[in-house]
Amino acid sequence: MASWTPREIVTDVLVVGSGGAALRAVLDAREAGADVLVVIKGQFGKSGATFHSVAEVGAFNVPDGAGDPHDNPDVFYGDMMTAAQEMADARLCRILADEAQGALAELEQAGVNFEREDGRYLVFRACFSSRPRSHVLLNHFKPIVAALGAQASRQGVRVLDRTMVVNLIVRGGQCHGVYAIDADGSPVVIRAKSTILTTGGASQLFGKNLYPSDITGDGYAMAYRGGAWLTNMEFMQAGVSVISPFINLFGNYLWDARPNLTDRDGRPFVDDYLPGGLTLEEVLCAKERHFPFSSSDVSRYIEISIQKTINEGRGTAEGGVYMDFAGRDFERILANPATSIAKMWPHTYTWYKERGVDLYHDKIQIACSGHAVNGGLYIDEDAQSNIAGLFAAGEVAAGPHGADRLGGNMALTCQVFGRRAGRAAARRAKSVDHARIDCVEEEFRSYVERFSGHGTQSLSVLRAALQRAADRSLLVVRNETGLRRFLDVCAQTVDALENDTRIETADDRILALELANLAEVGALMATAARERKESRGGHYREDYPEPDTRQATNVILDRADPLGCRRARLRDLGNPRKLVGTDTII
């Protein structure tokens, strides 16, 4: 690493990330009069989960009656709570339902064009919803980043890109900024009155995943190290995705066409894993209702059978299985124009055809892939964590989602809570002064130098081994033996990073820090999964396959807790700021 005299940057509001939640927070904090700095690992406007397209269309939920005149915010709220299975924060779900329509209007004013059909919004019924309310964006969510990023650029927002935030500066229960490393490997200290994490999830923990390479759980890991509470980390979205000839989410409406699923030898395999009395038709019918894996209905046997087929060595060389629509009567399947597959098939078929796949005839490879984490930092209505001055929005934050999450809700969550975070962070910045913080250099250096870089092991080999273990034991099928084995792999990964890894360049240093974060977040997820001895939503325990009413409390991961985690209901935690005696600002 370069000189250990960090350069220092001062700002009112620091936003870490540059996706949909980040840009919304930036614009609202600026509008409220705050000086704002954006720090990102990648390139502004061209990196992060929102920019990375993983499907032919993006879904944005709004209960405006466009798809069903009986839809409204109350129905939307009810759908969220039903999917959450008592694991969401009702306060945050209510906010999401009430502010969805305003969020859509703001995006349209910014120049985001939602698809229309005959003058009306094109909407479909997405995962776990009782009504069609998912408004369609072509090219996934790139239009949101383009429109809001252009606004931020016109306003002259300060941006520090190609810079990795490593840790938070926390003293006395308050966040005063961050430590970071720039592209040259030089240390940077950023002092901020308010810090907003919008760092996305941790899907790179899995070898099969739908996110870009820089989504490595940084926000979860640094927040946990700083004393923030994490919750719902055992609940995630894994689901069937295309892995060859390209990577893409496999839309839930496509199951309506009853695809054929076969192993590497062309042999059907789903029936091998079905319990007695359950038919493949029943499983496929249930799978139409949602993309992500859920233990809540019999559709779970699709992902379970795929993952077990691969784990048992019956998968392809690329680590998948085969899927095709051979013999399917699409004239009948598409006859009802009101169905989601009839509405979406023209877009989906064209999108695949442009990439060399004719869905009427071609065979593709699919697998179970990691997508999103339903948990994250515990936040209040202003998106502030239990650490004063630390805010979170988007996938890095918990609360609006529970055991399962409605399809089309994450993009909405980014806008609603990005806005609330930006405004609250700006209010706080007006009320506090920059504090004098001692021992900054020493604290920063001691963490980074844990990874000496004088060993022989390859970072890429270490990362691949961690991902293989996560795919096998954490992605879909979980049990006590596998979770313990995976925790051992996480510990071994950190030990190798500290004692026997080859780190030669500034880029290597970033990769090592990312891998440390992935191992830490993997251990947190596995710890929460071990604590939850039941199956609920996106969390499936093979050794505890049924839900247990006695488990209807949230797992709170708290570094200060002697056991590392505790159980509580989110609604009973109250306002986290009340628990921080030094914070009387807001």
Tens-digit pLDDT profile for residues 424-440: 999 999 999 988 888 78
∠ at Cα 546 (540, 551), nearest 5°?
A: 85
Q: How many helices and strands, by DSSP H and E, does the chain display?
A: 15, 21
Residues 236/538, Cβ–Cβ less than 8 Å: yes
CA dihedral 507, 508, 510, 513 (to 10 degrees): 180
Strand 158-160 with 36-39, pairing = parallel
At a CB cut-off of 8 Å and minimum separation 6, what does 307 contact? 368, 475, 476, 477
CA distance 467 to 305: 20
Average pLDDT over residues 447-459: 86
**Structure confidence at residue 18 (pLDDT):** 92
Which strands, in side-by-side order, build the sheet including 134-138? 57-61, 134-138, 123-124
Please report how the helices 506-531 and 480-499 are oriented relative to each other, as an axis angle in degrees rounded to 10.
160
CB atoms within 10 A of CB 130: 16
CA dihedral 551, 232, 381, 44 (to 10 degrees): -170
Alpha carbon of 263 to those of 73, 291, 522: distances in Å?
Answer: 44, 21, 29
* Cα radius of gyration (the chain): 23
CA distance 544 to 521: 23
Inform me whether the pLDDT recorded for 64 exceeds 60.
yes
The greatest distance separating any two alpha carbons of the chain, rounded to the nearest whole angstrom, comes to 71
Inform me whether the pLDDT recorded for 55 exceeds 80.
no
Residue 138's nearest CA partner among 47, 55, 243 is 55
Share of the chain above pLDDT 70, in %: 96
With the C-alpha atoms ordered 331, 337, 341, 345, is the resulting torsion angle positive or negative?
Answer: positive
CA distance 77 to 59: 17
CA distance 311 to 274: 17
Buried-exposed string 342-370: b where 16+ CB fall within 10 A, e elsewhere: bbbbebbbebbeeeebebeeeebbbbbbb
- Identity of the amino acid at 51: F
CB atoms within 10 A of CB 257: 17
**Residue 118 phi/psi, 5° resolution?**
55, 40
Average pLDDT over residues 572-583: 48
How many Cα atoms within 13 Å fall on the side-chain side of residue 399? Answer: 34
- Identity of the amino acid at 147: A
Per the structure block, which two tokens stand in for 94? 């209510």
Residue 478 DSSP SS3: strand
Residues 388/584, Cβ–Cβ less than 8 Å: no
Residues 529/519, Cβ–Cβ less than 8 Å: no
Q: What share of the chain is helix, strand, coil (3-state, %, to 5)?
A: 40, 20, 40
Please report how the helices 409-431 and 20-31 are oriented relative to each other, as an axis angle in degrees rounded to 10.
30
Domains along the sequence of the chain with CATH? 237-369 (3.90.700.10), 440-551 (1.20.58.100)
**Structure confidence at residue 582 (pLDDT):** 33
DSSP characters over 291-349:
SB--TTSTTHHHHHHHHHHHHTT-S-TTS-EEEE-TT--HHHHTS-TTSHHHHHHHHHH
How many Cα atoms within 13 Å fall on the side-chain side of residue 110? Answer: 24
**Structure confidence at residue 58 (pLDDT):** 87
The answer, yes or no, to whether the previous bond of 545 is cis (omega within 30 of 0) is: no
DSSP characters over 3-28:
-SS-EEEEEEEEEE--SHHHHHHHHH
Run of H or E including 491: helix 480-499
Per-residue pLDDT tens for 177-213? 999 999 889 999 999 999 999 999 999 999 999 888 8
Per-residue pLDDT tens for 102-155? 999 999 999 999 999 888 999 988 899 999 999 999 887 889 999 999 999 999
Average pLDDT over residues 59-80: 97
At a CB cut-off of 8 Å and minimum separation 6, what does 261 contact? 268, 269, 270, 302, 305, 306, 321, 322, 323, 366
DSSP characters over 447-464:
HHTTS--BS-B-HHHHHH
Per-residue pLDDT tens for 32-54? 999 999 999 988 877 666 666 66
| pTM reported for the whole predicted model | 0.93
Per the structure block, which two tokens stand in for 164? 């990795």
**Structure confidence at residue 520 (pLDDT):** 98
Per-residue pLDDT tens for 313-365? 999 999 999 999 999 999 999 999 988 899 889 989 999 999 999 999 999 99
Per-residue pLDDT tens for 285-323? 999 889 999 999 999 999 999 999 999 999 999 999 999
Q: Share the mean pLDDT of the chain.
A: 92
Inform me whether the pLDDT recorded for 217 exceeds 80.
yes
Average pLDDT over residues 484-496: 97
